[in-house]
Amino acid sequence: MLMVEKRETRRIRKKNLMKSRKRRRKKKRRRRRIRRSTRRRRKRQRRRGRRKRRRRRRRRRRRRRRRRRRRRRRRRRRAVTTTQVLKTQILKLI
């Protein structure tokens, strides 16, 4: 009986935690959205003042592609287990 109650309480606690997390995330999102919109408006106002026309020059570049493949073989070292370490230490002592 006790185990069932424990499980239930754990489930309720988890549910509450998820709810609070959701709420926190929503708050953060709301804050972010407001900030972004004001920044955009400010930028637009700044841009309205001066306008310069810029001529664009197009440069054509020829690219030569040279493919060189280097193959590196990486040797994987196996992780040394504690038993192996102990064995080597014992062998050194002898």
- Residues 94 and 92: their CA atoms lie apart, in Å, by 5
23-73 pLDDT per residue, tens? 777 777 777 666 555 666 666 666 666 666 777 777 777 777 777 777 777
Spell out the domain ranges in the chain.
1-46
Please give the model's pTM, rounded to 2 decimal places. Answer: 0.23
pLDDT at 13: 92
**Over the range 38-59, which residues count as b (16 or more CB within 10 Å of their CB) and which as e?**
eeeeeeeeeeeeeeeeeeeeee
58, two tokens: 């197009």
